[in-house]
Amino acid sequence: MSREIPSFEKTENKEQIQELKHFTLEQVNEINKRLEGIESKLRGKGYGNGMMSLTLKDHEGNARRFGIGGGMGYDATAFNPDQVIAALAIVGHDFDKEKVFDFSDGSKPLGGLKILDLGCGVQPEFSYIARRLGAETWTVDVIPASEFQPIEISEEGKPIDERAAEFHIQIDLNNPDAAQKILEKANGKFNFVTEAHLSTGTMRTIAGRERDYAAYGEDTAKDVLIDEGVYQKVEPLEVRVRHAGSLKY
């Protein structure tokens, strides 16, 4: 019998292994139906053209609008809004209400998700937002968290997410032991794994030298997802997810 994990803000003991929400194949199909034509449905509501506008509480408790996305096409940042959309669809967020992305009431709609962002890049906006919305969110990249760059959603000089380093795993996903090392650090499996621009390659500074880095995210995802988890490989012009079972064949 599974239960939803509590909002990440209330999850203080990382050593405690949480039971994760499971998703059947039928549920994943329903999620994809909700995602069909999602950009046109949300046009004018804060999502589109690789960008997203959300309203959150700032560090002083005031409602403030934040913008994410808009990076270059070869960088994962450009697809962060699509990752947020997929996560919200998974938990059944209401895309029909007037203020779709207004979370200034402090609500945590992503509570119940344990997320892994494969190849998060130097500006992991998705992970910052997902944590703010209640998900336990881990990032993985070949670069260390110390190379994360300042982003627009920092709050007047104060990082929006001070847990960035604590929940980042620096590892080369081409390492055959990568999945096992991730599971050890994160205390077990995930129910949502997402990647953007990982297999197609993007520039990374590795050992002081800039080079094109790529890895096949599905190989890692199938080993770190629960059997009834959800996987997203962001593709241009379409937001879709897959059931974890589809990765094993």
How many Cα atoms within 13 Å fall on the side-chain side of residue 21?
A: 21
Helix (H, G, I), strand (E, B) or coil at 97: coil
DSSP reduced 3-state for 107: coil
Instruction: For residues 206 and 203, give the distance between their C-alpha atoms in angstroms, rounded to a whole number.
Output: 9
* Residue 235: closest CA among 207, 204, 203, 194: 194
Helix crossing, 178-186 with 217-224: angle to 10°? 40
Tokens for 201? 């390659």
Cβ atoms 80, 68 nearer than 8 A: yes
- E strand residue ranges, the chain: 47-48, 51-57, 63-69, 114-118, 136-141, 168-170, 190-195, 202-206, 209-213, 225-233, 242-243
Contact 214, 204 (CB under 8 A): no
What's the confidence (pLDDT) of residue 247?
86
Centre a 10 Å sphere on the Cβ of residue 154 and count the other Cβ atoms it contains.
Answer: 13
The domain segmentation of the chain, as residue ranges, is 20-248
Q: Is 142 helix (H, G, I), strand (E, B) or coil?
A: coil
Predicted confidence at residue 67, as pLDDT, reads 85
Residues (pLDDT < 70) of the chain are 1-19, 71-76, 150-160, 199-214, 249
Query: How far is residue 169's CA from residue 144's CA, in Å, rounded to a whole number?
Result: 8
Q: What is the pLDDT of residue 82?
A: 93
pLDDT in tens, 221-239: 999 999 999 999 987 777 8
- Write down the pLDDT at residue 202: 60
pLDDT digits (tens, 9 = 90+) for 112-137: 999 999 988 888 889 989 998 999 99
The CATH T-level fold of domain 20-248 is Rossmann fold (3.40.50)
